Amino acid sequence: MTTTIADYVIVGAGSAGCAIAYRLAEAGKSVLVIEFGGSDIGPLIQMPGALSFPMNMSRYDWGFRSEPEPHLGGRVLATPRGKVLGGSSSINGMVYVRGHAMDYEHWEKSGAAGWSYADVLPYFKRMETWHDGGHGGDPARRGTDGPLHVSRGTRQNPLYQAFVDAGAQAGYQVTDDYNGRQQEGFGPMEQTVYRGQRWSAANAYLKPAKATGRCDVIKGLAEKIEFTDGRATGVRLAGGQLVQARAEVIISASSINSPKLLMHSGIGPGKHLAEHGIEVRADRAGVGQNLQDHLEMYIQMAASQPITLFKYWNLLGKAYVGARWLFTRTGPGATNNFESAAFIRSAAGVQYPDIQYHFLPLAVRYDGQVAAEGHGFQAHVGPMRSASRGTITLRSGDPLDAPKIRFNYMSDPQDWEDFRTCIRLTREIFGQEAFAPFRKNEIQPGADVQTDEELDAAIMEHVESAYHPCGTCKMGAVDDPLSVVDPQTRVIGVEGLRVADSSIFPRITNGNLNGPSIMTGEKASDHILGRSLARSNADYWINPDWATSQR
User: H or E element: which one contains 457?
Assistant: helix 452-462
Give the chain's length. 551
**Annotated binding residue at 55?**
no
Dist. CA 235–CA 250, nearest whole Å: 10
Query: Could you count the other beta carbons within 10 Å of the beta carbon of residue 426?
Result: 22
**Annotated binding residue at 95?**
yes
468 is known as an active-site residue: yes
Pairing, β 242-251 against β 231-237 = antiparallel
What DSSP string runs through 348-368? TT--S--EEEEEESS-B-TTS
CA proximity to 50, closest of 197, 202, 201: 197
Long-range (24+ apart) CB contacts under 8 A made by 162-165 are 162/434, 162/435, 162/437, 162/438, 163/340, 163/342, 163/357, 163/359, 163/379, 163/429, 163/434, 164/188, 164/340, 164/342, 165/432, 165/434
Looking at 100, 358, 468, 527, which residue is catalytic?
A: 468
What DSSP string runs through 302-336? EESSS-SGGGG-SHHHHHHHHHHHHHHS-SGGGS-
Please answer whether residues 52 and 127 qualify as being in contact, where contact means their C-beta atoms are separated by less than 8 angstroms. Answer: no
Query: In degrees rounded to 5, what are phi and psi of residue 245?
Result: -115, 125
Q: Which residues pair with 442 in a beta bridge?
A: 301
Q: Which residues pair with 144 in a beta bridge?
A: 129
How far lies 329's CA from each of 49, 153, 164, 335, in Å?
A: 11, 13, 27, 9
Query: Could you count the other beta carbons within 10 Å of the beta carbon of residue 76?
Result: 12
- Per the annotation, binding residues are 84, 92-95
- Per the annotation, binding residues for FAD are 84, 92-95
Hey, which residues are catalytic here? 468
